[in-house]
């Protein structure tokens, strides 16, 4: 069944309501690797309930619509989809605990052609239910590898952020735990690819891989550490492209270039010298 452009563009997403606590905020921070050094008090503010704060990148796991493309009525070959891009814009610092409400929509579908796949561009707005204030807007691109050639528009993809050609201004190496994926999945993504060795082998991987959004969080940690002095009020936005998977236990090196309030970045696995996040752009105060 091919993609029906109008039907998918107007997909009826239900409103998503989620209540999270400081425990969930702590679990997310531990999942992306905070407090490898338990004596680092700057990081402890995200992992200890005394004067608790939420990591800015936790916005990506709040009130998600789930794996909605698996619904047969979407016409999407869900087995062949990949998470291509992710963006986050914060309108105010995330509370450590809250009840949030999210609305989701498909904003564009780009037909790359027969055998070349399609791009599904999505937007999610997360609102604090108690105050009615918007907390974050999330942007993502799903690469539907098996769905090109359905007759849709061929333009509309998000522009690629070009990285500076000079040497990085700052480099930050952050290790990941061998059990990182098993911790991170408790923030809501229970895909067995990240836990079951047999499923991972069936997907062509030597071991369960780290969630792409966990790698996103590690890069966000590098930016928060390098340019925000661990102050979440200074972290405004972040977007990137996923380019290769990470295995838990590997070290992620984030290379950063600062130009005013814009930080360009990419991340690579040190042990294999493979770029895993590319064309990154963040905004800091």
* Strand locations in the chain (E): 16-20, 81-90, 98-111, 118-128, 134-144, 170-175, 235-242, 251-259, 262-269, 274-284
Average pLDDT over residues 178-184: 98
Residues catalogued as catalytic: 189, 194, 209, 212
Average pLDDT over residues 32-39: 96
**pLDDT of amino acid 155:** 92
Average pLDDT over residues 157-183: 97
**pLDDT of amino acid 203:** 86
Query: CB-based contacts of 35: which residues, under 8 Å, 6+ apart?
Result: 29, 43, 44, 46, 47
List, for residues 4-29, the tens digit of each pLDDT value. 999 999 999 999 999 999 999 999 99
Which residue ranges form the domains of the chain, and what is each CATH number? 5-144 (3.10.129.10), 170-284 (3.10.129.10)
Average pLDDT over residues 251-280: 98
pLDDT range class, residue 232, cuts 50, 70, 90: very high
Give the helix/strand (H/E) hosting 221: helix 212-227
Q: How far from 151 is each of 72, 117, 148, CA to CA, in Å?
A: 19, 12, 8
Average pLDDT over residues 183-197: 95
pLDDT range class, residue 224, cuts 50, 70, 90: very high
Mean pLDDT value across the chain = 96
List, for residues 70-99, the tens digit of each pLDDT value. 999 999 998 889 999 999 999 999 999 999
Half-sphere CA count of 204, side-chain side, radius 13 A? 1
Rounded Cα–Cα distance for residues 86 and 280 (Å): 10
* Strand locations in 91-226 (E): 98-111, 118-128, 134-144, 170-175
Whole-number percent of the chain with pLDDT over 90:
96
Average pLDDT over residues 268-285: 98
What burial letters (b/e) apply to 98-135, b meaning 16+ CB within 10 Å?
bebbbebebebbbbbeeeebbbbbbebbbbbeeeeeeb
């Amino acid at each position: 069944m091919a993609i029906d452009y109008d039907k998918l563009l107007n997909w009826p997403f239900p409103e998503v309501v989620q209540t999270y606590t400081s425990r969930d905020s702590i679990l997310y921070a531990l999942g992306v690797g905070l407090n490898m050094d338990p004596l680092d008090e700057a990081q402890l503010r995200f992992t200890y309930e005394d004067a608790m704060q939420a990591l800015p990148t936790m916005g990506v796991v709040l009130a998600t619509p789930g794996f909605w493309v698996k619904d047969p009525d979407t016409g999407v070959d869900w087995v062949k989809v990949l998470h291509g891009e992710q963006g986050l814009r914060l309108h105010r610092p995330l509370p450590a605990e809250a009840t949030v409400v999210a609305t989701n929509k498909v904003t564009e579908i780009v037909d790359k052609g027969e055998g070349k796949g399609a791009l599904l561009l999505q937007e999610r707005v997360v609102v604090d239910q108690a105050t009615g204030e918007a907390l974050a807007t999330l942007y993502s691109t799903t690469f539907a590898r098996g769905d090109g050639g359905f007759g849709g528009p061929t333009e509309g993809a998000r522009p690629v952020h070009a990285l500076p050609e000079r040497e990085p201004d700052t480099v930050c190496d952050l290790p990941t735990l061998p059990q990182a994926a098993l911790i991170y999945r408790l923030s809501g993504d229970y895909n067995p690819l990240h836990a079951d060795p047999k499923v991972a082998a069936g997907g062509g991987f030597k071991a369960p891989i780290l969630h792409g959004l966990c790698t996103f969080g590690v890069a966000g940690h590098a930016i928060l550490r390098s340019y925000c002095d661990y102050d979440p009020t200074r972290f405004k936005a972040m977007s990137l492209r996923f380019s290769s998977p990470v295995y838990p236990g590997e070290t992620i090196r984030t290379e950063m270039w600062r130009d005013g309030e814009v930080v360009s970045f990419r991340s690579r696995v040190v042990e294999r010298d493979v770029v895993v996040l590319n064309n990154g752009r963040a905004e800091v105060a």
